[in-house]
Amino acid sequence: MEEGSSPEELEESTKDESVEVEATSKTEPLTLNLEGGDWGYPTPYAHYARGPGIYKMKLIFDSMMETGEEGLIPFLAEKWDIEDSGRSYTFYIRKGVQWHDGEALSAEDIKFSFDYYKEYPPVMDDLARSKKDYIEEINVIDKYTLNIKIKSPDATLLERFGTARIIPKHIWEKVEDPLKFQGPEAVIGSGPYKLADYSKEQGAYKFEAFRDYWGYKPAAATLRFIPVSDPILAFENADIDIVAITPDILSKYQEDPSYKIVESPAFWGYRILLNMEARPELKEKALRQAIAYGIDRDELIDKVARGAAKIASPGFLPIEHSFYNDNIKKYDFNLEKSRSLLDGKEYEFSLLTGNSNAEVRIAELIKLNFEKIGIKLRITSLDMKSRDAAIKSGEYELVLNGHGLWGTDPDKLRIFYNSEFQETPGYLNEEIDALSNEQLVCTYPQKRKEIIFELQEVIAEEIPMLTLYNTSGFTVYRPEKYDGWTHVFNHHEITHNKISYLIME
């Protein structure tokens, strides 16, 4: 927070804006309690770059579109037109939208947000994901109409334009250091909830419904994210209202009609990144394929995920993804095949991992099998933030990373495998680069799908990184308390999307 601002001052600045929202079959205002943890201050610049941090920020800040159950749905933009062969986007902004401080939102705020993000990239910088300046100009046609002209067609731009978080010009135009801007004004958005309290030390957040929200009614009067040491026990004690569970305790809740269970799509998973700059021998495809055959993914799913997972595709896109290609090279566990590809050579690598029980166990199981084919692993575990920082700086040889967003637009393949982005340092494949760039500018859906299918085939053959498995866990909650939890089309976690906290009528 800004110097001189306390959580109490923040709560005082927002408490008069709370609104009573009734729970189903109850007359008391609904408070939803969820598992806490510190995921940063929820501005576009200060939240942590993982799901729990991202969606807390999105509760405060709206965008022109939001992710829905079947696809993108209109939010701040009522409608849009795409013209000039995909080179012109016109957005029609809703009238009557207010910021949390009562000021009116207009097309000027949209333009300002895009311009500001270009100068000061936020944590989730979807607008700059291509690493190129594709916007030719942005023009405010009138108070509620905005036109964006681009230099060349791009199949991903509508989603990127639509889901960029909009910030108020009248506040942020004075801010020259957005990372340090963390006072009450920094969390004034146009979203359905306002931040009422935040404790970094406790990992606690409190959000209150915005009574003048423009659209869908907030489902709860208050959202509380509270620290818990044992989430299952906290759920049993009704301290929190929803919790992720493992298959071994599933039957306990299935047999009780007071609970409802939801299975998550397998859009969260583990992969091992290979640093070919640090270890040039990893540029040999035979070595990478030998490593891939030497991983027993069924064992990982059985012993670590407790059966609640699916083997990840070597082409990256998960089985439940609409662009998934099943007709690609597979790497079933085969130590003999690994030994044959290694041809008597032996190697030793360091494997960096997070310090969670699951990640350490994955690393240990992989190490045991690698020893059987002549590959030694030195395992180092760090806390998640330190491990993520090491990935960003390239300070690793092999690194195990688990994350979500596997179900998002298949342009993810370009971000992960194109040499321009160096997700795999030192790796270059001209065919992958060409195909991933081609799909980006293809605005014909069926043709783009064909390109992405071919791209997955090449990726699976090349195996520049090692996909392990995608989790398909379960979530349990009490529908009598609240029954609005909803999955969106591209994400695994029902608590990580805005529409779960809105009455979508």
Q: What is the DSSP string of 425-492?
A: TT---HHHHHHHHHHHH---HHHHHHHHHHHHHHHHHH-SSEEEEEE--EEEE-TTT-------TT-S
Same structural domain for residues 286 and 213?
no
Angle, nearest 10°, between helix axes 335-342 and 285-293? 160
**How many residues belong to the chain?**
505
Asked if residues 314 and 401 have their Cβ atoms less than 8 Å apart, the reply is no
259 lies in some domain? no
pLDDT tens across the length of the chain (505 residues): 333 333 334 434 333 443 444 444 444 799 999 999 999 999 999 999 888 999 999 999 999 999 888 889 999 999 999 999 889 999 999 999 999 999 999 999 999 999 999 999 999 877 766 556 789 999 999 999 999 999 988 888 999 999 999 999 999 999 999 999 999 999 999 999 999 999 999 999 999 999 999 989 999 999 999 999 999 999 999 999 999 998 888 889 998 999 999 988 888 999 999 999 999 999 999 999 999 999 999 999 999 998 889 999 999 999 999 899 999 999 999 999 999 999 999 999 999 999 999 999 999 999 999 999 999 999 999 999 999 999 999 999 999 999 988 988 999 999 999 999 889 999 999 999 999 999 999 988 899 999 999 999 999 999 999 999 999 889 999 999 999 999 888 888 899 999 999 998 7
Quick one: DSSP state of residue 59? H
Helices (H), 318-411: 335-342, 357-371, 384-393
Quick one: which H or E segment has residue 322? none
97 lies in some domain? yes
How does strand 31-35 pair with strand 222-226? parallel
> What total number of domains does the chain contain?
2
Same structural domain for residues 175 and 317?
no
Quick one: which H or E segment has residue 112? helix 107-119
Angle at 366 between CA 363 and CA 369, to 5 degrees: 150
238 lies in some domain? no
The C-alpha atoms of residue 454 and residue 431 are separated, in whole angstroms, by: 10
Same structural domain for residues 206 and 279?
no
Same structural domain for residues 197 and 103?
yes
Same structural domain for residues 283 and 306?
yes
Quick one: DSSP state of residue 267? -
Same structural domain for residues 186 and 53?
yes
- Show Cβ contacts of residue 104 under 8 Å, excluding neighbours closer than 6 positions: 96, 97, 98
Same structural domain for residues 140 and 223?
yes
Same structural domain for residues 351 and 403?
yes
Same structural domain for residues 78 and 189?
yes
Contacts 24+ apart (CB under 8 A), 302-307: 303/361, 303/365, 304/358, 304/361, 304/362, 304/365, 305/358, 305/469, 305/471, 306/246, 306/247, 306/248, 307/247
Same structural domain for residues 422 and 481?
no
Range of the domain at 462: 268-471
**CATH code, 487:** 3.40.190.10
Same structural domain for residues 303 and 435?
yes
Q: Considering only CA atoms, give the Rg of the chain.
A: 24
Strand order through the sheet with 145-150: 77-83, 88-93, 145-150, 135-142
Quick one: which H or E segment has residue 100? none
377 lies in some domain? yes
Q: On the CB side of 176, how many CA atoms lie within 13 Å of its CA?
A: 0
pTM: 0.74
Same structural domain for residues 186 and 272?
no
Asked if residues 428 and 419 have their Cβ atoms less than 8 Å apart, the reply is yes
The C-alpha atoms of residue 390 and residue 350 are separated, in whole angstroms, by: 13
The C-alpha atoms of residue 80 and residue 185 are separated, in whole angstroms, by: 30
